[in-house]
Amino acid sequence: SVMGTVVLPGELIEPSSSSGASDKQIIGYGIERLEGDRLVSTQPGILRSTAKKQWISVQARRYVPERGDAVLGVVTGKIGDLFKVDIGSADLAFLSYLAFEGATKRNRPTLKTGDLLYARVASTSKHVEPELSCVDAEQKARGMGVLPVGGCIFRVPLHVARRLLSPKSHLLKQLGEDFKFEITIGLNGRVWLLCDAHRVLVFMRNLILKSEYIVESDIPAYVEREIRRFKGFEQPEKMDTQ
């Protein structure tokens, strides 16, 4: 089946049951064969297998929009009353000027090419580009719309975005105890981050990117260690002179 489980480097991989022992499976990217025909993963990613082959898919494929997803998009242009927005999916999404809180024919939002938007996917269908909206069911913005200038946008793998948004994830809460920042995460694997100092921004971005390879139970220790290292660099600990 092409449904996959997440594996980390060094994990042993079960040969897929569909292939008999006589019929040696082909192993693809990210898997090595050890002695005794044991298979081990060398890459973090998603284990994929078919009857004849097993491999590790390292990048979740392109973002596929689903209704209700919160996404970060970039305005790329305008056709009539519709804005075209790049959300990283196969097709550009579109957004009506009326899909904003308080928008009317006379009171139109001012959007320009290059603006960053936080929006939700309002509808998807096979034959039409995804449609976005910057209001919820009650016509309220609730934080959606054009993001302030001055933040930094970067990409993370789709599973990292999902994890950061999960209520079980501690990473952002923990960073919030030491740093002031604003963050917006799209399920399309884009993160917008605003900090008051550039080096804090670089530190947090790197910490988030590296967190992909850390299991959730190790996150608190990982974040604490990285913060200590960062602050130690800022103010060297005094030598004990006694």
Q: What pLDDT is stored for residue 194 in this prediction?
A: 96
Task: Give yes or no for a contact between 31 and 45, defined as CB atoms under 8 angstroms apart.
Answer: no
The two most distant CA atoms of the chain are separated, in Å, by 75
With CA atoms as reference, report the closest residue to 30 among 15, 11, 52, 3: 11
Q: What pLDDT is stored for residue 167 in this prediction?
A: 87
Q: What pLDDT is stored for residue 22 in this prediction?
A: 46
CATH 2.40.50.100 fits 5-57, yes or no: yes
DSSP H helices in the chain: 158-165, 171-176, 198-210, 219-234
The per-residue DSSP string of 120-150 comes to: EEEEEETTEEEEEESS-TTS--TT-EEPPTT
Q: What pLDDT is stored for residue 35 in this prediction?
A: 78
Confidence of residue 215 (pLDDT cuts 50, 70, 90): confident
Answer whether residue 197 shows pLDDT above 60: yes
What is the rounded distance in angstroms from the CA atom of residue 210 to the CA atom of residue 74?
25
Evaluate whether 70-146 and 152-234 have a shared fold: no
Q: What pLDDT is stored for residue 23 in this prediction?
A: 58
CATH architecture of 70-146: Beta Barrel (2.40)
What is the rounded distance in angstroms from the CA atom of residue 141 to the CA atom of residue 138?
9
Q: Which fold has domain 152-234?
A: Ribosomal Protein S8; Chain: A, domain 1 (3.30.1370)
Q: What is the pLDDT of residues 1-21, one digit of tens each?
A: 445 677 777 788 887 765 455
The residue that leads in pLDDT, 17 or 225, is 225
Answer whether residue 44 shows pLDDT above 90: no
Q: What is the pLDDT of residues 148-181, one digit of tens each?
A: 988 999 999 888 898 899 888 999 999 999 999 9
Domain ranges for the chain: 5-57, 70-146, 152-234
